[in-house]
Amino acid sequence: MLIISTIRLEMNDWLYNAGLVGLYNILNHSNASSLKKNNNGFEFDIEELDNFEEKYFEYFMDKYQYILPYNKFESLSNYLNNFEEKYFKENSEFIGDINDYIGLLKKKLTSNSYSNTYPLLKDLDIDFFEEGKKLKKIKFKKNDTDEEKLKVIKETVESLILINSKLKEKVVKKYLCSKDVIYNIINNFWNNISILHKQNNKNDHFLQFKNDFVDTTLNYLKKDISKAKYNCCVCDRKITKLSKPESFDLVWINKIGVDQNRKSSHFWNFNNTSYICPVCNLVYACVPAGFNNYYGKGIYINKNNNFKSLVESNNISFKKDEGIHSYFDLENFTYRNILNSLESVEINKKRLELENIQIIKFDKENSLRPYTFNILSKSMINVLKKEKKRLEFIINKYIKVSNDDYISLYDATINNLYNNSLLFNLINESMNIQFRNDGIIKDFLINLIYINNTFLNTKGERGMNEKLITMAKFKGEEFKQYYKQKNSENKINGITYKLLNSLKTKNKNLFLDTIINSYMYLGKEIPSIILECNKNVESLQTIGYAFILGIQSTKKENIDKGGN
């Protein structure tokens, strides 16, 4: 008999809130009829936990169906249809795609994560591991005839069709796709227990999750704990014992918990009291579903002024046509969610609400500090709102530093805004790298100058009218034409080099000397826009960089594609 029939959960710290969002998302995805949001959290009937392990994995499999490896194999059918005809009509265009799939398929079918699951697929008449080992990429010999090529293609396609047809079976998808979820998403956030414990890697992970998280919660709710002497350190529910399965620690959450068996000195008088109840344990298991994830990176917005707002801020769709093709797209969509929720009210009137918005980013590659935290400042959100189009325009713009090293302009710009830093150093570095590489500075960098100017205006620190920036760039283009007309185009790179160095060191005298000498050489009047450089350092750099972009401009039609 259940002592408690309804579970009520309320917001707490950021990690717990991420778990709440995840648990809510999973229940909502399963159409839980008793699920009800309130201002501080949500509640649901205990019956919604029936088959929760199925609902848990189905949520991930549906949400991330276009980025999980298993689903890429399913789409292989599109390439296999009439492949022979396509090859001989349109030559080798499809061979590369097929071979990429074969490489990935072979790797996954013979991987430990998949192999450990095959014993659970008892009624299948295929040995995935052996089929994977036999797979070979399509290769032709130099003197192969069309008949010989056709034979190689047929043999490969027949193997792929056989594997593909078996992969589509419901039970196979359930177990293999959920394994992708475990090792591509869940293990980024927690590890070393339950479905992610090494000793359990051959067990049925659905059953294992049920035993470790769902059943412990239900058993806990069945007990009369009114006289228990301990309390959960998160929700304050009663706990009868400081050991499993009555209570749990947090060491299993990556880089969050303390190993109390080896580091008891973290606690008062060496006595650990930071135990959580089984309900909170289930909530923390749902943290991966609270984040939006993209290939080892994730983002979560702790906009906790109310629970509805918290859920909506993190509601990002990963459907195929939604336009998320990179982590930067995901980040941009997340900010757009926040902006949409604020557009009905002036941002200046939302000060208190903005001060409570935390942005938590997760990066799997940063093993020591996977989480980074920032507060979404009023200045930053104003820039995000006003410069939405220009920020979207630079999403896929990179500056090549070396063969293996690129600067992502979007990422670098957002990081500077996070840290309340102006973009002048980024602009100078980007221009210098491009100038050193091929003597050409790309026009799209003008977007950084406009964004930086908006940032200056938002902070009330010496921004200027955008028309002046546009004029400075135009005068730079005009300057270049004067040198061409004088057949002295070869002097332009030297002048650019001097101007870039003077701006990097904020040396106004060197910048103006170079400009004055150049116009004296041309016999032209110095444009009045240059006088703006005398106002302050920010004006010098803004006008200066726009002028240089004009000098190095190659395509006038690319000016300010972002618009305003």
Could you read off the pLDDT of 418-431 as tens digits, one per residue?
A: 888 899 999 999 99
What confidence score (pLDDT) does residue 9 get? 97
Q: Is the pLDDT of residue 22 over 50?
A: yes
Residue whose C-alpha is closest to residue 42's, from 29, 24, 65: 24
The predicted pLDDT at position 345 comes to: 52
pLDDT higher than 60, residue 346:
no
The DSSP code sequence of 38-97 is -SSEEEEEGGGGTTHHHHHHHHHHHHTTTTSHHHHHHTTHHHHTTHHHHHHHHGGGGHHH
pLDDT band of residue 343 (cuts 50, 70, 90) is low
Q: How confident is the model at residue 190 (pLDDT cuts 50, 70, 90)?
A: very high
Q: How far apart are CA 497 and CA 487, in angstroms?
A: 19
Task: State mean pLDDT over 250-256.
Answer: 87
pLDDT at 349: 54
On average, the pLDDT of the chain sits at 87
What per-residue confidence (pLDDT) applies to 322? 66
| Residue spans of alpha helices (H) in 300-402 | 307-313, 327-342, 351-354, 378-386, 388-393
* Model confidence at 221: pLDDT above 80: yes
DSSP H helices, 125-277, are 128-134, 146-167, 170-172, 178-184, 205-209, 215-222
Lowest mean pLDDT among 173-182, 215-224, 336-345, 483-492: 336-345
DSSP assignments along 218-244, one per residue: HHHHHS--TT--EE-TTT--EES-SST
Q: What's the pLDDT band for 113 if we cut at 50, 70, 90? A: very high
Does residue 418 or residue 11 have the better pLDDT? Answer: 11
Q: What is the DSSP letter of 300?
A: E
Instruction: Quick: pLDDT tens for 506-516.
Output: 999 999 999 99
The residue ranking higher by pLDDT, 86 or 355, is 86
Parse the chain into domains and list their residue ranges.
Answer: 6-50+189-288, 69-178, 399-563
**pLDDT level of residue 264 (50, 70, 90 thresholds):** low
pLDDT beyond 60 at 142: yes
Q: Residue 488 and residue 466: Cα distance in Å, rounded? A: 31
CA distance 239 to 255: 25
**CB distance 344 to 371 below 8 Å:** no
Task: Say whether pLDDT at 563 is over 50.
Answer: no
Q: What φ, ψ does residue 535 adopt, rounded to 5°?
A: -65, -55
Instruction: Convert the pLDDT of each residue in 57-107 to its tens digit.
Output: 999 999 998 889 888 887 777 677 766 666 666 556 678 878 888 999 999
Q: pLDDT band at 262, cuts 50/70/90? A: low
| Mean pLDDT within 296-300 | 94
Residue 544 reports pLDDT greater than 60: yes
Cβ contacts of 440 within 8 Å, gap of 6 or more: 434, 552, 554
Number of Cβ within 10 Å of residue 525's Cβ equals: 7
* Distance from C-alpha of 306 to C-alpha of 378, rounded to nearest angstrom: 19
- Determine the distance from the C-alpha atom of residue 185 to the mean position of all C-alpha atoms in its chain, rounded to a whole number: 12
- The 8-class DSSP code of residue 480 comes to H
Q: What is the pLDDT of residue 202?
A: 92
For residue 498, how many C-alpha atoms fall within 13 Å in the half-sphere facing its CB?
A: 15
Q: Of 260-269, 340-349, 492-501, where does mean pLDDT reach its minimum?
A: 340-349
Q: How far apart are CA 546 and CA 447, in angstroms?
A: 10
Is the pLDDT reported for residue 332 higher than 90?
no
Q: Is the peptide bond before 278 cis (omega within 30 degrees of 0)?
A: no
Residue 392 has pLDDT above 70, yes or no: yes
Identify the residue with better confidence: 129 or 333: 129
Write the single-letter amino acid at 11.
M
pLDDT at residue 174, as a whole number:
95
pTM given for the model: 0.83
Across residues 351-374, what is the average pLDDT? 81
pLDDT at site 259 = 67
pLDDT band at 334 (very low <50, low <70, confident <90, very high): confident
Residue 240 to residue 238: CA distance in whole angstroms: 7
